[in-house]
Every structure is written in C-alpha cells, then in structure tokens.
C-alpha cells in the first residue's frame, strides 16, 4: 500500500472523544492516512494544539465568532493551516477535494449537514454521528447510494454487525440474516429501579463503567436512549425492519453485537471496549490495520453475561421503538427533544427522570408527519426543540 498516496481524512469533531481516537489511529499510519481537515465546535485552543500535532491543510471552527481566534492561534503557532469558520465551511470542506474520507464525529443534529454534504460528494464516511441517521436516515442513505458514498459505522455495535456481515452490498435476505442482536452495557445505573434513579447526578451519569465517551452520549447510555438511537441507526444502516432487531444487556461490553442467520448460526464480534478498533475498521476496510488496541484475555475475563433490558426503569428505549414504528418525523422529534433534555440535565436544570418525560411530551405534542424532505425534518427538529425548551423553562 505504500505505493499509493495517503488517504486524506477530514476529522469533524476532532476535539472530542471519537476525534481523539481517530487521530490516534491515523497517526500510527503516516504512510496510509493524513489528517487534512480538522474541525471543532468552539474549542479553539484544543483545535490549534491538534493542528500543531497533525499539520492539516485546513482547520474549521463551527462558531463564526471564533474565526479570528483560530486564525491568530494558528499563526502564533507558526502553522500554515488555513483557518475557516461556520457551518457552511464545514459542508464545503466535507465535499471538497481536501478529503476523500470524513470521520463524522460531531455530536448531535449539528452533524447532519456536513455528513449529507460528504454523502452527496461520494466520500467514504466513518459515521459516528448517529443522530444524523436518526434524524434523516432515509435521506442520508439515499444520498450516499446515489453518489456512491461508502458509509462505515463508527458505533461499536454497528461496526460489529458490519464485520459479521462482511459484504455491505448484499441485502440482508441475500446474506441469509434472520435478525440482529444489539448489545448494551446497561450503563452506570444498570440494576437500579426507577425510584432509585430519582436523585442521580450528571457526574454519576457520565461515569460510564466500560466506555470513555463525550458527555451527551454518556447520558444517553445512562438513560438507554443511546440504545434506542442505535436501534434506529441499525434500521437505516442495514435496511432491516424493527421486528428483526433485538436488544440484549451485556455488562462486560466485550461482545459488541451479533448477527443470527437463517441456518441457526450466530456470529458475534468481540474486542476490548476501545473505539480505536472501530475506527481502524473504518479506515482500513476491507483491510485490517493496527489500532493500538490489544486483544482479549478471555481467561482473566472469566464470563460473559446477558440479560433483558429493564424498560420500566429506562423508558427511553421504548420511546425510541415507538418513534421508529411511527416513522416520518417522529425519530427527528425524539432526537431533538432528547438533545435539549440531556443538555438541561447536564446543566443541572432538570432531574434524570425528567429526560424521558420531556421526550414523551414532545412525541405526543407533535404527531408524526410524513417526512420526505430535509426541510420537513429540520422543521420538526426545531419545533421539538422549542416545545422541550419551553417545558423546561416553565417547569
Ligand atoms: P464529544 O462531546 O467528546 O465531542 C463532540 C465533538 O463535536 C467536539 O469536537 C465538538 O467540538 C464538536 N462539536 C460540537 N458541536 C458542534 C457543532 N455545532 N459544529 C461542529 N462541531 C461541533 O462527543 P463524542 O463522544 O466524541 O461523540 C461524537 C459522536 O459520536 C456522537 O454522535 C456520539 O453519539 C457518537 N459516538 C461516540 C462514541 C464514543 O465512544 N465516544 C461511540 C459511538 C458513537
Ligand atoms: Mg454504541
């Protein structure tokens, strides 16, 4: 492979948890991968520090007001990285010749636009931003197919399924798939009753027992909304109906998901809970590359447990199933209400158990409409944000 030019990788969400893992793997293979575009939301200093390490051609800060800070910071560091700011710059660079691969690791619906831009331009997309699939899964998958973009999931469960299926082009029926089983760690509050969740704090919620992740997805893991979003994500990525998706709680987080075939065979993908493996799969596919992650020591691990999710204590999982079944704008509403509620919880403004209540409120206030345009989906997203913010402000 050393005879070919390195792949040019844009890392959006470079200052986050997935961004750090992506850059770690990229830096292990300077002959194969170059980080050519780095982007972040508001953390200028962290972005400049990453530019000093990885020397990209372009750096983007999403917040327009921070353009001068980024430009001056790059200059002060003696870098010739070109500074950009704003969401339009993200879209333009994602679709440009500056990259052939996008690591889509912005958190939340804010990641949709640049992911769609990369899909329309036929890029390889390492898709961590699951919210874009929940919000606009059909549109995104259609756009990727039409433009020949490859979407490789950067979610441990979906990467596991992707690896078990091996050929992403075959339909599930051609591949002989009966169902897929998504595993869930159960999060930091596994085993607690609903009553025992009333007083939990943001600090407890983000202290995940197995994975080190950004604050939003950590809270989603604690409510099990993350698994709900992942069911919808799997539905779109693998074009599989909800009836053929099951969720299993597996506290050790070593089996990342399973695929059951029509002949009764079940394949599982296993590994340590470290997203660098998933990112290496996405960067190298169909080849395997070093990720810095060691193998499993099953003897010291001892055992693997599986149990059913507790849908009474964690109603978010059921709300996600409900939104997926309703279809149309309902998943967009679910996602938007959840983003607003999680942000309020992290700021200490609402209790943990208010999160599912606010999501349920948005879903019942905004009945699902059909959603075949991006405008319609974004309008539903905005409306759900307003309703949820108002419910928080007036509580
Ligand atoms: P994080 O909070 O650590 O990082 C988020 C990144 O997004 C930061 O770089 C931030 O600057 C950037 N960002 C935020 N708002 C932005 C905006 N408006 N415009 C541009 N950039 C913006 O989050 P994370 O844990 O790295 O998660 C990122 C995405 O990956 C999420 O969608 C999450 O669900 C998904 N994911 C994460 C993990 C994990 O292990 N962390 C696993 C699976 C999926
Ligand atoms: Mg996951």
Return the ligand number nearest the Cα of 157.
Answer: 2
- Ligand 1 pocket, mutate which of 38, 214, 223, 346 (most atoms under 8 A from CB): 214
Per-residue pLDDT of the chain (395 residues; tens, 9 = 90+): 456 899 999 999 999 999 999 999 999 999 999 999 999 999 999 999 999 999 999 999 999 999 999 999 999 999 999 999 999 999 999 999 999 999 999 999 999 999 999 999 999 999 999 999 999 999 999 999 999 999 999 999 999 999 999 765 567 888 899 999 999 999 999 999 999 999 999 999 999 888 899 999 999 999 999 999 999 999 999 999 999 999 999 999 999 999 999 999 999 999 999 999 999 999 999 999 999 999 999 999 889 999 999 999 999 999 999 999 999 999 999 999 999 999 999 999 999 999 999 999 999 999 888 888 999 999 999 999 999 999 999 98
Q: Interface pTM (ipTM) of the complex?
A: 0.99
Ligand nearest to the CA of 160: 2
Which residue's CA lies nearest to atom 36 of ligand 1?
128
- 219: CA distance to ligand 1 center in Å? 13
- Is the CB of residue 354 less than 8 Å from the CB of residue 223? no
With a Cβ cut-off of 6 Å, ligand 1 is lined by: 13-19, 40-41, 43, 62, 105-107, 110, 128-131, 155, 211, 213-217, 275
Compute, in angstroms, the gap from residue 190 CA to the centroid of ligand 1. 24
Of 237, 238, 257, the closest CA to residue 247 belongs to 257
Task: For residue 110, give the nearest of 42, 198, 52 by alpha carbon.
Answer: 42
Which residue's alpha carbon is at the smallest distance from atom 42 of ligand 1?
155
Give the residue whose CA is nearest to atom 2 of ligand 1.
214
The residue whose C-alpha atom lies closest to atom 19 belonging to ligand 1 is 41
Question: Which protein residue's CA is at the shortest distance from atom 41 of ligand 1?
Answer: 213
């Amino acid at each position: 492979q050393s005879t070919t030019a390195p792949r040019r990788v844009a890392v959006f969400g470079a200052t986050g948890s997935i961004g750090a893992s992506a850059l770690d793997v990229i830096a292990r293979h300077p002959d194969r991968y170059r980080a050519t575009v780095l982007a972040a939301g508001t953390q200028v200093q962290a972005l400049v520090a990453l530019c000093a390490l990885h020397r990209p051609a372009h750096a983007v800060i999403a917040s327009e007001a921070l353009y001068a800070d980024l430009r001056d910071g790059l200059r002060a560091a003696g870098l010739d990285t070109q500074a950009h700011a704003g969401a339009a710059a993200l879209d333009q660079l994602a679709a440009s010749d500056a990259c052939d691969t996008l690591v889509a690791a912005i958190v939340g619906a804010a990641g949709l636009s640049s992911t769609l831009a990369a899909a329309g331009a036929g890029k390889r997309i390492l898709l961590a931003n699951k919210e874009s699939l929940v919000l606009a899964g059909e549109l995104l998958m259609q756009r990727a197919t039409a433009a020949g973009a490859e979407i490789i999931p950067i979610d441990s469960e979906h990467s596991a399924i992707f690896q078990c299926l091996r050929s992403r082009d075959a339909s599930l029926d051609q591949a002989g798939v009966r169902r897929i089983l998504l595993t869930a760690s159960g999060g930091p509050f596994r085993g607690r009753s609903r009553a025992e969740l009333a007083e939990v704090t943001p600090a407890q919620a983000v202290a995940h027992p197995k994975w080190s992740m950004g604050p939003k997805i950590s809270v989603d893991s604690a409510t099990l909304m993350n698994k709900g979003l992942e069911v919808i994500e799997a539905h779109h990525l693998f074009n599989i109906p909800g009836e053929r998706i099951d969720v299993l709680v597996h506290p050790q987080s070593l089996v990342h998901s399973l695929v059951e075939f029509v002949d009764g065979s079940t394949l599982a993908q296993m590994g340590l809970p470290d997203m660098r493996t998933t990112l290496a799969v996405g960067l190298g596919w169909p080849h395997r590359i070093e990720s810095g992650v060691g193998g499993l020591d099953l003897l010291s691990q001892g055992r693997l447990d599986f149990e059913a999710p507790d849908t009474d204590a964690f109603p978010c999982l059921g709300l996600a199933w409900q939104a997926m079944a309703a279809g149309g704008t309902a998943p967009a509403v679910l996602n938007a209400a959840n983003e607003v509620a999680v942000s309020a919880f992290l700021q200490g403004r609402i209790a943990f158990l208010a999160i599912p209540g606010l999501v349920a409120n948005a879903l019942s206030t905004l009945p699902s409409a059909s959603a075949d345009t991006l405008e319609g989906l974004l309008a539903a997203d905005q409306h759900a944000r307003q309703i949820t913010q108002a419910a928080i402000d007036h509580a």
